[in-house]
Structure 1
Amino acid sequence: MQANAPRPDGRATRWAGQHARRRAEFVEAALNAVTEHGPDASTELIAQQAGVARTRLYKHFDDAGDLQRAVARRIGELIVEELEPVWNPQGTPNQMITLAVDTHLRWLTEHGNLYRYLLRQPPGDGTDGPGGIRNTLGEHLGTLFGAYLRAFGIDAGPADTTAFGLVGYVDSATHRWLDRPGAVGRPELVRQLSGTVWVVLDGILREGGVELDPDAALPLPHELPAPG
């Protein structure tokens, strides 16, 4: 290193760390405000929840849109974190599917205001808002289903479109149910959605010559014997 090379500015580093922490704190305050007051919670309510004046928020966010995108991103992270067990499946096909659907539906039921807030966000660049979450879930499911298709010696081409279609189906049905639950309880909805998901996946497997018992234990893709 040259003797006259500039040293890192410690103050700038500390400010960057403090800025990131404050942003995270304000996002958490926003989550609490939305949970308590609904998806229309104003910036003023968020500032009150954080215990600061509204003008203080905008020292850490470019504008209201920047705050909304940060909140939407955090909601998406919470949903993906909740579904973590789904990405390491075990048990029977029915158990795997039911776990995924029930976990997703339970989170949305318990955090309905956060989900409705997410739905109101514009598409943006595809990484935030409901579209970004569907993309993330679709990619996870597509990777898992594709691994199973390849393990069975079946063309994995349909995996991606099937996964995104199923995520869209479950998401749309759930959205409708949250707004108009009617006489259908959550367990019944989980049963209906899981059954439809299995019918779609089973159809693709059968086209490839594979018949699975949905109630028999299914090993992970890398544990399956090589196709003959």
Structure 2
Amino acid sequence: MANRPSPAAAARAAVAAATNVTRGLEQALISTVTEGVAKPDGRRQRWEKHKAARRTELTDGTIDAVRTLGADVGMDEIAAHIGVSKTVLYRYFTDKSDLGVATAVRFFETMLLPRLTEAITDDVDEYTLTRTAIGVYVNAVADEPNLYKFALTSPPSSAATADSEKLVAQLMTAALVLRMTERDADTSGAEVWSNALVGAIQRAVDWWMTERSIPVGDLIDYLTMLSWSSIVGIAAFNGSREAFVAAPPPLPEPPITDNGIEDTE
């Protein structure tokens, strides 16, 4: 029997991994501001801490501005809403793209990550876990349409989108490995499956945020249907790639109605 990580240990590992993603991105952004300014080490460290704190403060102000003024808000409007000059914004952010990435990082740190962490640490069955995690993500995005458009879907924010997907995939991988280990299943494909499902859900949500052609509950149902069917298929082979390739399951026959005619609706 393989060693089974406790739910608490797995959750801590997932949170630590996700936090490293957001901190790493934020640190990379901070290091680009006032680049080339020479300071003694002590002063530089204090300045870095000040920059990080000030960027967070200005990012929170930007989030409030976007919620109030809309996704197409400009730098002048953001600065006025926060109560600073545009020069101050450009002192801490190289451009609007930089501000968009910082906003995306803040969104995941403060709004999405805590909800996902709570979902994966709940002691529930696998189906409930799958549906809950999808619902958390979809509802977090659906509740913030302006913020989502400003921070995640504009072309300058593509780097933040990629890192946010990586964060969610890490959380999903941790949860998947934990549940599969409990079944003594092969977890070799866990990262592949997690990234594939997260990418598919992200693309579907991107489409839905633009079209809004179905209710949010229907979107969650369809995404759960896709994800759970994948998980059930993986579990049927206990995670074994070799077993699946050797005997792939056939496509089920269409259901038959009471009058003996195939039901194609």
Same-fold call, TM cutoff 0.5: yes
Q: Is 1:166 paired with 2:200?
A: no
Aligned mate of 1:69, from 101, 113, 116? 101
Q: Residue in 2 aligned with 1:60?
A: 92
Could you tell me how far 1:97 is from its partner in structure 2?
1.2
The 1:167/1:179 distance shift into structure 2, 3 A limit, reads: same
Distance 2:190 2:239 in 1: 16
- Residue deviations 1:114-146, cap 9 Å, x none? 11121215467xxx5111111111111112212
Could you tell me how far 1:53 is from its partner in structure 2?
1.3
Distance 1:63 1:190 in 2: 35
The AA in structure 1 aligned to 2:69 is H
The 1:207/1:19 distance shift into structure 2, 3 A limit, reads: closer
CA RMSD after TM alignment: 2.5
Secondary structure of the residue that 1:59 maps to in structure 2? helix
The 1:191/1:56 distance shift into structure 2, 3 A limit, reads: same
**TM-score scaled by length of structure 1:** 0.77
Between the aligned residues of both structures, percent identity stands at 23
Q: Is 1:99 paired with 2:132?
A: yes
Secondary structure of the residue that 1:49 maps to in structure 2? helix
**TM-score scaled by length of structure 2:** 0.67
Distance 1:123 1:67 in 2: 9
Distance 1:92 1:71 in 2: 34
Distance 1:8 1:101 in 2: 45
Secondary structure of the residue that 2:91 maps to in structure 1? coil
Distance 1:108 1:178 in 2: 8
Secondary structure of the residue that 1:83 maps to in structure 2? helix
Q: Residue in 1 aligned with 2:173?
A: 142
For the Cα contact (< 8 Å) 2:142–2:209, is it kept in 1? yes
For the Cα contact (< 8 Å) 1:123–1:130, is it kept in 2? yes
The 1:73/1:204 distance shift into structure 2, 3 A limit, reads: same
Could you tell me how far 1:35 is from its partner in structure 2?
1.9
Distance 1:100 1:209 in 2: 21
The 1:12/1:173 distance shift into structure 2, 3 A limit, reads: closer
Secondary structure of the residue that 2:92 maps to in structure 1? coil
Could you tell me how far 1:41 is from its partner in structure 2?
1.6
Q: Residue in 2 aligned with 1:111?
A: 144
Q: Residue in 2 aligned with 1:40?
A: 72
Could you tell me how far 1:18 is from its partner in structure 2?
4.0
Could you tell me how far 1:12 is from its partner in structure 2?
6.5
Distance 2:217 2:123 in 1: 21
The 1:30/1:199 distance shift into structure 2, 3 A limit, reads: same
The AA in structure 2 aligned to 1:69 is V
Could you tell me how far 1:165 is from its partner in structure 2?
1.0
- Residue deviations 1:34-57, cap 9 Å, x none? 222333221111101110111122
For the Cα contact (< 8 Å) 1:112–1:178, is it kept in 2? yes
Distance 2:185 2:234 in 1: 9
- List alignment gaps of at least 5 residues for structure 1: 1-6, 211-228
Q: Compare the two structures and name the one with the higher helix fraction.
A: 2
Secondary structure of the residue that 2:161 maps to in structure 1? helix
Could you tell me how far 1:147 is from its partner in structure 2?
2.4
